[in-house]
């Protein structure tokens, strides 16, 4: 009789505990919006899904194709406006602040404190992830923009030398063209064009000029002879691209270098993810080196996830698990090896990483010391979306028309001024 009563009492207490407001169930679902759809990207994001599912959570994939994420951001905004945002989304740079200011985001301070994120993430990056001192985003990696991906066979066949300056680039490109191959694998999409453009700005103009134009967006620095030179360098490249360039996706451009159809591509190191996915080895099948004139600079691009405010306690648990896993050493290693980036978590061993990643790790630290570690404008780390849009529209209009470089520089300064 007494035993029966105790058992009933226990069941009653347990039912109270799991009713609303009681301890949360342990597993839940996260719906993740991202734009990682190429071969290398898909292999990378699969790592996070597996780790999360190993803890019993469910990963609902919401991939929006389109390199650079412009399409993904449009879809995210329309879902948020409709009151139906996903639980987690790949969002970067100053946009994190915008989402937080609008009150959409979950505060991640409890995970950050338990896991000591402040001690693990470089301050320059942690500051981007915080809103009013609170963690509202979790960083995934550090990508570098100013790379040149080279097929050594193509260069050998053409008798060309890997360029270190834009003058040397022209010499090499002419030789490759004369040998019947495409010098530059070009993806003719606006975000790819500004990715190459900002690399030229850093290489031709130097770090101060890059900061004045691409970070501070100073109209008088933009409307200048140095900017004219940068624009002319961009236009000069066009004659070394193929007729299939307009609209081409970045990973298809990388495939041209992998297959030996083109000599080189200028792209961030997510391109390395494609070489890795194709089983290619650095310094054997391909060479990864600094884009002309940028050996000291590191144009950084940090991927990150924001978590939207949710009511369901099990979804909250899943969000926290995802945030925690992202900065754990296991994910940082496997993901970044596949993705082509380097860990954002400090103190990771360099040993498992390949030659380009080790070079990137070394350069990240060195460039931070010399003031040459600068945020990417093209990848939304440096300016507002409006200013990036103004620069992108001008560069694309210039690249795809007969506009004079001088007029384009003036137009860019005006467009930026109206976006401020």
Name which position in 303, 333, 354, 372 contacts ligand BGC (CB under 6 A). 303
Q: How far is the CB of 95 from ligand BGC (least distance, A)?
A: 12
Whose structure tokens read 């019947």?
Answer: 180
Which C-beta is closer to ligand BGC: that of 227 or that of 377? Answer: 377
Region of 11-19, 61-69, 78-86, 275-283 interacting with ligand BGC (CB under 6 A):
61-69
- Check: CB of residue 361 under 8 Å from CB of residue 350: yes
Q: Does 68 bind ligand BGC (CB under 6 A)?
A: yes
User: CA nearest 390: which of 413, 364, 416?
Assistant: 416
- Check: CB of residue 280 under 8 Å from CB of residue 286: yes
Which C-beta is closer to ligand BGC: that of 196 or that of 315? Answer: 196
Q: Does 86 bind ligand BGC (CB under 6 A)?
A: no
Burial label for 203, CB within 10 Å (0-12, 13-18, 19+), is buried
Region of 63-71, 216-224, 236-244, 391-399 interacting with ligand BGC (CB under 6 A):
63-71
Q: Does 35 bind ligand BGC (CB under 6 A)?
A: yes
Size of residue set near ligand BGC by CB under 6 A: 10
Which C-beta is closer to ligand BGC: that of 37 or that of 314? Answer: 37
Helix (H) or strand (E) holding 298: strand 298-301
Q: Does 270 bind ligand BGC (CB under 6 A)?
A: yes
User: CA nearest 141: which of 255, 281, 34, 254?
Assistant: 34
Q: What residues form DSSP beta bridges with 142?
A: 342
- The token pair at 276 is 């890795």
Q: Does 149 bind ligand BGC (CB under 6 A)?
A: no
Binding mask 197-236 for ligand BGC (x = CB under 6 A): ----------------------------------------
Q: Does 41 bind ligand BGC (CB under 6 A)?
A: yes
List the alpha helices (DSSP H) in 32-165.
39-54, 70-81, 95-101, 109-115, 117-120, 123-129, 152-158
Region of 67-75, 233-241, 327-335, 400-408 interacting with ligand BGC (CB under 6 A):
67-75
CA distance 238 to 177: 12
Which C-beta is closer to ligand BGC: that of 47 or that of 172? Answer: 47
In the region spanning residues 272 to 301, those forming contacts with ligand BGC, defined by CB under 6 A, are 301
Which C-beta is closer to ligand BGC: that of 303 or that of 317? Answer: 303
Q: Does 379 bind ligand BGC (CB under 6 A)?
A: yes
Which C-beta is closer to ligand BGC: that of 199 or that of 224? Answer: 199
Q: How far is the CB of 383 from ligand BGC (least distance, A)?
A: 14
User: CA nearest 88: which of 341, 316, 345, 311?
Assistant: 316
First to last CA, the chain: 78
Burial 212-241 (b: 16+ CB within 10 A, else e): bbbbebbbebbbbebbbbbbbbbbebeebb
Nearest residue to ligand BGC by CB is 270
Name which position in 32, 45, 51, 69 contacts ligand BGC (CB under 6 A). 69
Q: How far is the CB of 122 from ligand BGC (least distance, A)?
A: 17
Q: Does 343 bind ligand BGC (CB under 6 A)?
A: no
- Classified as helix, coil or strand, 30 is strand
Q: How far is the CB of 358 from ligand BGC (least distance, A)?
A: 20
Q: How far is the CB of 42 from ligand BGC (least distance, A)?
A: 11
Interacting residues with ligand BGC (CB under 6 A): 35, 41, 67-69, 143, 270, 301, 303, 379
């Amino acid at each position: 009789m007494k035993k029966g009563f105790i058992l009933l009492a226990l069941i009653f207490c347990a039912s109270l505990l799991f009713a609303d407001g009681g301890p949360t169930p342990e597993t839940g679902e996260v719906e993740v919006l991202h734009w990682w759809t190429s071969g290398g990207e898909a292999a990378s994001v699969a790592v996070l899904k597996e780790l999360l599912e190993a803890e019993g959570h469910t990963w609902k994939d919401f991939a929006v194709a389109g390199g650079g994420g412009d399409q993904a951001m449009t879809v995210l905004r329309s879902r948020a406006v409709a009151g139906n945002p996903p639980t987690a989304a790949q969002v970067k740079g100053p946009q994190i602040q915008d989402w937080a200011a609008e009150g959409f985001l979950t505060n991640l301070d409890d995970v950050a404190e338990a896991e000591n994120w402040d001690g693990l993430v470089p301050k320059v990056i942690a500051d981007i992830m915080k809103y009013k001192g609170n963690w509202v985003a979790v960083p995934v990696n550090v990508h570098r923009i100013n790379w040149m991906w080279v097929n050594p066979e193509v260069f050998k066949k053409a008798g060309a030398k890997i360029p270190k300056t834009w003058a040397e680039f022209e010499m090499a490109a002419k030789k490759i063209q004369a040998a019947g191959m495409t010098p530059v694998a070009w993806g003719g999409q606006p975000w790819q064009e500004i990715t190459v453009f900002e690399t030229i700005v850093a290489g031709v103009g130097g770090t101060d000029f890059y900061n004045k134009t691409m970070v501070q967006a100073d109209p008088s620095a933009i409307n200048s002879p140095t900017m004219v030179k940068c624009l002319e360098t961009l236009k000069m490249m066009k004659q070394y691209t193929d007729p299939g360039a307009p609209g081409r996706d970045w990973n298809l451009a990388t495939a041209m270098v992998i297959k030996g159809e083109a000599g080189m591509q200028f792209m961030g190191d997510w391109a390395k993810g494609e070489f890795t996915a194709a089983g290619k080895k650095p310094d054997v099948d391909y060479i990864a080196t600094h884009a002309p004139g940028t050996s000291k600079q590191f144009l950084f691009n940090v991927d990150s996830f924001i978590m939207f405010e949710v009511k369901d306690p099990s979804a909250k648990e899943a969000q926290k698990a995802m945030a925690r896993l992202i900065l754990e050493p296991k994910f940082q290693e496997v993901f970044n090896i596949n993705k082509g980036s380097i860990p954002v978590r400090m103190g990771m061993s360099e040993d498992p990483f390949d030659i380009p990643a080790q070079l990137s790790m070394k350069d990240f630290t060195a460039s931070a010391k010399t003031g040459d570690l600068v945020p990417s404008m093209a990848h939304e780390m440096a300016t507002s979306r409006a200013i990036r849009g103004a620069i992108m529209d001008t560069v694309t209009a210039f690249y795809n028309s007969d506009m004079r470089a001088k007029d384009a520089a003036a137009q860019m300064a005006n467009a930026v001024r109206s976006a401020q």
